[in-house]
Structure 1
Amino acid sequence: QDAGEQAEAVSAQALITLAEGFFGGRADPVVRKLEKAGESPAELLQAVESAAKLAKLTIDEPKAAQFLIEARKLIGK
C-alpha cells in the first residue's frame, strides 16, 4: 500500500524537474508533454513514455532511456 500512496504523491512537476535535469536547455518539448499529463499514475506513465520517445528521437537516446527508468521509479511502475 505504501508504494501506491507514494505513486499517487508523484506529480507532473516532479517529472518535469527530472526531465530538466536530464535534458537541460533542450528539455522544453519533453516538458510540454509532461505538463499535459493527467494526475493518475497511469496517465503520468503514459506521458513519460511519450516524452521519452520524443527525447530519444530529438535529443539523446541514452539519456532518454535513463530518463524513462528514473521516471518509472518515481511513479512506482
Structure 2
Amino acid sequence: MAQTTVPASRPLPLTIPIQTIIPWAVLATVLSLLVLYFVGVEQGAFSLFGGQSVHEFVHDGRHLLGFPCH
C-alpha cells in the first residue's frame, strides 16, 4: 500500500489592525479615568454629587488604592 503525504499547514501569523484597537483603548482609558476619579477625588470642592453617598460606596476602594479620606 502506498502512503500519501499531506503537506503540513502553517498557522497564519496573527495580525490585528491598529484601527480596531484604538477605539477600545480609548474607551478603556476613559472608563479607567472615570473610575479613578470617583474612587479618588469625588468629595469636597470638586464633587459632582452632593452628600457622602459616592464616598461611602467607594470607601474601601479608596483605602485599598492608598487614597486618604479621613
TM over 0.5: no
TM-score calculated relative to the size of structure 2: 0.27
Give the TM-score normalised by structure 1: 0.26
Structure with bigger helix share is 1
Greater length-normalized contact order (CA 8 Å, ≥ 6 residues apart): 1
Q: Which has the larger radius of gyration?
A: 2
